[in-house]
Amino acid sequence: MKISIVAPFYNEAENIEAFFATLVPILEETGDGFEIVCVNDGSKDNTLNLLYSWGDRHPEVVVVNLARNFGKEIALTAGLDHSTGDVVIPIDSDLQDPPELIPEMIAKWREGYDVVYATRTLRDTDSWFKKWSAELYYRLFNLVTETKIPFNAGDYRLMDRKVVDSVGRMRERSRFMKGVFAWVGFKQTSVEFARPERFAGQESQSFRRLWRLAVDGIITFSTIPLRVWSYIGLVIASLSFIYGLVILTKTLFYGVETPGYASTMVVILFLGGVQLLSLGILGEYVGRIFEEVKRRPLYIVDNPPVATDKHHDT
């Protein structure tokens, strides 16, 4: 049995030493074979050199160097594509996903579970805004999509080979890994942990990026935002019809009433706003359709460390 660890690295030079120092003893302890697939996601610091030097010294360390920064979701996909283990564990390289959980995950896998995801018991290290928005987002996501993602679970999880292969068959460009992992199904369970602070450095997932990811998640897993407009339109049309009747009767019985600037403006502005909003939502979908039909490779690997016939550019 072989364990594959998949870790994305973006400007993590300060964390590499500590990352391997914590992870490797835990993996050796398990007594199983292992590999650590390190994906360098276009880091601008010394990360790549450090990874290569670890790779030279340790045959278990596999370095996949992406040609530029593709973002965490794609980096993770690249790592999964290059993994060869019977179980695969994606993990953050900033030690926010404690490797100490790995033996517990493997134990659950041996009990017969195909996916063991790690849920955070407390989000003490996050700001109240992040906690509150995450909670709201999980609720919204589970409300509008058929795919149910577990509360407070990140990408840190153990997956059986068959799960990884199924995930690998989903080649969409706008990807929301939590949703993709949940979509494939299989027998799932969870283990709990308290998420520690980042070991060193700054979080690089900016608000803009998280926002895009959030929108991607909902839009790629639900068509409700697209379909809801026909109902909103129906309601507005019915209300307008009733109001039209009211105006007509009033005019017939009481004659023409000229003042009406305020009500006219309100209706025009409101409808204009509603139309722009629905156009915007349409645009979100059309834009993604455009991205998908171009069928560009998900990522480009620079200097693949090993010759591989895996589908890393399909």
Q: Write out the residues near ligand UDP by the rule CB under 6 A.
A: 8-10, 12, 41, 69, 71-72, 75, 92-94, 96, 198, 203-205
Of 164 and 177, CB closest to ligand UDP = 177
Site for Mg ion in 149-208 (CB under 5 A): 198
- Pick what 9 binds: Mg ion, ligand UDP, none; C-beta below 5 to 8 Å, kind-dependent: ligand UDP
CB distance 91 to 24 below 8 Å: no
- Pick what 75 binds: Mg ion, ligand UDP, none; C-beta below 5 to 8 Å, kind-dependent: ligand UDP
CB distance 240 to 278 below 8 Å: no
Of 69 and 278, CB closest to ligand UDP = 69
Cα 211 to Cα 219: distance, rounded to the nearest angstrom: 12
The binding track of 78-107 with respect to Mg ion, each residue x by CB under 5 A or -, is ----------------x-x-----------
Tokens of 161: 């080979």
Of 274 and 300, CB closest to ligand UDP = 300
73 binds Mg ion (CB under 5 A): no
| Sheet (strand 301-302) strand order | 188-193, 115-120, 153-160, 87-90, 2-9, 33-40, 61-66, 301-302
Residue 287 carries which side chain, given as an amino acid letter?
Answer: G
Cα 94 to Cα 204: distance, rounded to the nearest angstrom: 11
Say which DSSP state 40 is in: E
Of 205 and 263, CB closest to ligand UDP = 205
State the minimum distance, in angstroms, from the CB of residue 14 to ligand UDP: 11
Cα 163 to Cα 214: distance, rounded to the nearest angstrom: 23
State the minimum distance, in angstroms, from the CB of residue 66 to ligand UDP: 9
State the minimum distance, in angstroms, from the CB of residue 99 to ligand UDP: 13
Of 196 and 244, CB closest to ligand UDP = 196
Say which DSSP state 118 is in: E
Q: Which long-range contacts (CB under 8 A, 24 or more apart) does 53-56 make?
A: 54/16, 54/20, 55/305
Tokens of 102: 């790995």
Of 73 and 160, CB closest to ligand UDP = 73
- Pick what 12 binds: ligand UDP, Mg ion, none; C-beta below 5 to 8 Å, kind-dependent: ligand UDP
Residues that bind Mg ion (CB under 5 A): 94, 96, 198
